[in-house]
Structure 1
Amino acid sequence: MQNTRRLAIIGAGIAGLSMAIFATQQGFDVEVFEKRSEISQIGAGVTLWPNAMYVLDKMKLTKSISEIGVQPCGIQQMNQQGQVLSKLDLSQLSQQCGYPSISILRKDLMLCLYEQVKQLNILCHFNTPVDSLDITDLSNQFDLVIGADGRMHSQVRAAIFQTPMEPVYQGFINLIGISPTLANGKNNHIQEFRDDGVRFGIVPATAGSCYWAAAWACDMNKNHTIKQWLNEAQCRFKHWPKAINTILNSANIHSCNHIFVHDLEPLPYWHQNNVVLIGDAAHASLPTSGQGASQALEDVWHLTNLLNQHEALPDALSHFYQMRINKTTAAQTIGRHLAKQFFSDIPQQPVKMDPAKLRMLWMQGLSTPHVLS
Structure 2
Amino acid sequence: MNNIRKIAIIGAGISGMALAILAKRKGFQVCVYERNHNISSIGAGVTLWPNAMFVLEKMGLSHKIEDVGGHPTFMRQFDKNGVQKSSLDIEEVNALCGTSSVTILRHHLMKVLHEALEDVDVKIHFNHPIATKEIDKIREDVDLVVGCDGRMNSSVRQYLYADGASPLYQGFINIIGISKLTSNMSDQAIQDYRFNNDKEKQERFGIVPIKDGLCFWAAAWRTDMNKKRPLSDWYQEMHQRFRLWPTSVQNVLNNYDKASLNRIFVHDLDPLPYWNKENVLMIGDAAHAALPTSGQGACQALEDAWHLTQCLDKEGNQKSEMDLHCLLTQFFQKRISKTSTAQIIGRQAAQQIFSAQTEPDIAAKRISARQLSHLWMQGLEGI
User: Is the Cα–Cα contact under 8 Å of residues 194 and 348 in structure 1 kept in the other structure?
Assistant: no
| Structure 2 residue 285 is matched with structure 1 residue 271 | no
Match for residue 60 of structure 1? 60
1:195 and 1:348 in contact (8 A); partners too: no
Q: Distance in 2 between matches of 1:107 and 1:217?
A: 28
What corresponds to 1:227 in structure 2? 232
CA contact (8 A) 2:183 2:248 kept: no
Q: Which residue of 1 aligns with 2:267?
A: 262
For residues 242 and 92 of structure 2, what CA distance do their matches in structure 1 show?
A: 32
Alignment of 1:342 onto 2:353: yes
1:200-244 residue CA offsets vs partner (Å, 9 max, x unmatched)? 000012222100000110000112333222211111111110111
For residue 173 of structure 2, give the secondary structure of its aligned residue in structure 1: strand
User: In the alignment, is residue 250 of structure 1 matched against residue 255 of structure 2?
Assistant: yes
Q: TM-score, normalised by structure 2?
A: 0.94
Q: 2:374 matched to which residue of 1?
A: 360
TM-score, normalised with respect to structure 1: 0.96
Matches of 1:246 and 1:348, distance apart in 2 = 27
Q: Tell me how far apart the structure 1 counterparts of residues 289 and 187 of structure 2 sit (CA, whole Å).
A: 29
Deviates more, 1:52-61 or 1:157-166: 157-166
Please give the per-residue CA displacement for 1:273-306, whole angstroms capped at 9, x wherever unaligned. Answer: 0000000000000000000000111101111111
Q: Secondary structure at the match of 1:221?
A: coil
- Equivalent residues of 1:181, 1:187 under 8 A apart: no
Per-residue Cα deviation, 1:133-172 (whole angstroms, up to 9, x for no partner): 3211110111100000000010001011122210000000
Q: How far has the Cα of 1:85 moved from its partner?
A: 1.1
Q: Contact conserved, 1:172 with 1:216, CA < 8 A, in 2?
A: yes
- Cα distance in 2, alignment partners of residues 248 and 338 from structure 1: 24
Q: Which segment is superposed worse, 180-189 or 131-140?
A: 180-189
User: Structure 2 regions of 5+ residues with no counterpart?
Assistant: 197-201
Give the stretch that moved more between structures: 346-355 or 227-236: 346-355
**2:33–2:124 CA contact under 8 A, matched in 1:** yes
Deviations 1:78-120 (A, max 9, x none): 1111111111111111110001000000011001110111111
Tell me if structure 1 keeps the 8 A contact 2:79–2:360.
Answer: no
Inter-partner Cα distance in structure 2 for 1:271 and 1:114: 26
Return the alpha-carbon distance in structure 1 between the equivalents of residues 246 and 168 of structure 2. 33
Cross-structure match for 2:206: 201
Structure 1, unaligned stretches of length 5 or more?
none
Q: Distance in 2 between matches of 1:19 and 1:347?
A: 44
In the TM superposition, residue 2 of structure 1 has moved relative to its aligned partner by: 6.7
Counterpart amino acid of residue 53 in structure 1: M
Aligned-partner Cα distance in 2 for 1:215–1:71: 24
Report 1:26-41 matches (<5 A).
26-41=26-41
Aligned partner of 1:106 in structure 2 is 106
Amino acid at match of 1:287: P
User: 1:325 maps to which residue?
Assistant: 336
1:288 corresponding residue in structure 2: 293
* Residue aligned with 2:127, SS: coil
Distance (whole Å) between structure 2 residues aligned to residue 163 and residue 238 of structure 1: 43
Equivalent residue for 2:155? 155
Q: Which amino acid aligns with 2:256?
A: A
Secondary structure at the residue paired with 2:152?
A: coil
Percent identity between matched residues is 48
Partner of 2:199: none
Residue 349 (structure 1) shift:
2.5
Distance 1:47 1:345 in 2: 27
- The alpha-carbon deviation at position 252 of structure 1 amounts to 1.1
Hey, what does 2:192 align to over in structure 1? 192
Q: How does 1:136-151 map to 2 (within 5 A)?
A: 136-151=136-151
Contact 1:307 1:313 in 2 (8 A): no
Residues 9-53 of structure 1: CA distance to partner in whole angstroms, max 9, x if unpaired?
000011111111111122211110001111012210000000000
Preserved contact between residue 2 and residue 324 of structure 2 (Cα < 8 Å): no
Q: Distance in 1 between matches of 2:193 and 2:274?
A: 37
The letter of the residue matching 2:368 is D
CA distance in 2, matches of 1:287, 1:183: 25
> 1:211 matched to which residue of 2?
216
> How far off its partner does 1:346 sit?
1.5
Indicate conservation of the 8 Å contact 1:214/1:233, yes or no.
yes
Summarize the Cα distance change of 1:170–1:263 in structure 2 as closer, same or farther, 3 Å threshold: same
Q: Structure 2 CA distance, aligned partners of 1:368 and 1:274?
A: 29
Matched-pair contact (CA < 8 Å) for 1:154–1:281: yes
* In structure 1, C-alpha distance between the alignment counterparts of 2:137 and 2:258, rounded to whole Å: 41
